[in-house]
Amino acid sequence: MNYLMVVEYNGNLFCGWQIQNNGRTVQYELKKALEILFKEDITLFAAGRTDSGVHAKGQVVNFHSDKQLDESELEYRLNAILPRDVVVRKVKIVDDDFHARFSAIAREYEYLLHPGKSAIYNGLCWQYRRFIDDSFLELNEQVVEILGEKDFKSFCKSATKLEHYRCFVEFAKLEKKKRFFLFFYKS
C-alpha cells in the first residue's frame, strides 16, 4: 500500500524536515509514530524539505507498507501519538507509482511579515522594524520581477550540486492583511 499524508507542523522547535543527528526533526517524529502503528521500518518521502524553524500547512508525504490500515483510523491514531506541533490532516491510499517529491506539480509558499516586535507572533512571522505601508504598492509592483523561469543558484548553499538551478515561478503576490503583509508564491 502507498499511503499519502498531508501534514501540518509548527517548525519552531524543529531542525527542519529531514532526519539529522543534531536535533529534533518532523520526519523523525512521523517515522517514529508510523513505526509504532505499523510495527515495521518506514521510509518517508516528502514533496520538499523545510529548514529549521519553518512551518508547513500542507506538506505532502508518502510511504509504503504491506499492511493496509483504514485511512481515517490511521489519521486518528497518528494524531493521538504525535506531539502537539505535528498534525496529520489527511491520509489516503494512492497508486503505487505516486511519489510525494516527483509527483508534485507545484509548491506554494507563504511568508507572513509583521511590523515591529510581537510576543504572540514571535516565531510565526518575520518581524521587521521598518513600517512599509508607504511603499506597499511599489513593492507589489516589484514582485512581478520573480515571475517566470529564473535561475535561483544564488539562494543555494555554495556546495549544492544540481543539474540546474532554474525554477518557474507561476504566481507571486504581496497582500496586506490588517497589520500584516502576506507574501505568497507558487512554483
Beta strands in 39-179 (DSSP E): 45-46, 56-64, 86-94, 108-115, 126-128, 148-151, 166-169, 171-177
pTM for the predicted model, two decimal places:
0.82
Please state the domain extents for the chain: 2-94, 108-186
pLDDT of residue 138: 75
> Is 133 a known active-site residue?
no
Measured distance CA(25)–CA(52) in Å, rounded: 9
Asked whether this chain's domains 2-94 and 108-186 adopt the same fold, the reply is yes
Give the CATH fold of the 2-94 domain: Alpha-Beta Plaits (3.30.70)
Residue 78 has a CB neighbour count (10 Å cut-off) of: 21
Residue of 41, 51, 96, 151 marked active site: 51
CATH code of 108-186, in short, is 3.30.70.660
Mean pLDDT lowest for which of 54-63, 90-99, 151-160? Answer: 151-160
